[in-house]
Amino acid sequence: MRWKIETFHKILKSGCKAEESKLRTAERLVNLISVYCILSWRIFWMTMINRACPDGPPTLALTKTEITTLGRLRTGTPASSRKTVSYYLTRIARLGNQRASDR
C-alpha cells in the first residue's frame, strides 16, 4: 500500500509540478491542488490498470471521447495497429513531456 501512495505523490509532484506553482492566494492554490489531485488520481488509476492488463482494451480506462481526442493529438508516439491501455497511457505521458518542452 505504501508504494501506491508514493506513486500517487510522485505523479502529483513530478508529473503535475505541483510545487512549482506561483499562485499567491490560498484560495487559488487550494483550487489548483484540487485539480491536480483529481488529475493525479486518474493517472495513478490508469497506471494500475496498465500494470494489471497492459494489453487490455483502452475502454478499461478511457471513455470513447477521450480515446478519440488522444487519437487526434500529435504526441510523438509511434502509431500502432494495436491500441491498448498501454498505448494510450504512453500518449498521455508524452503530453506531459510536450508541456515541459514548451517552457
Average pLDDT over residues 18-46: 90
CA 90 to each of CA 1, 2, 78, 79, 93: distance values in angstroms, whole numbers, following the listed order: 24, 24, 10, 11, 5
Average pLDDT over residues 57-69: 92
* Least confident piece of the model among 20-24, 52-56, 57-61, 92-96: 92-96
> Does residue 99 surpass a pLDDT of 70?
no
Cell numbers for 87: 498505448
Give the pLDDT score at 41. Answer: 92
CA distance 8 to 102: 24
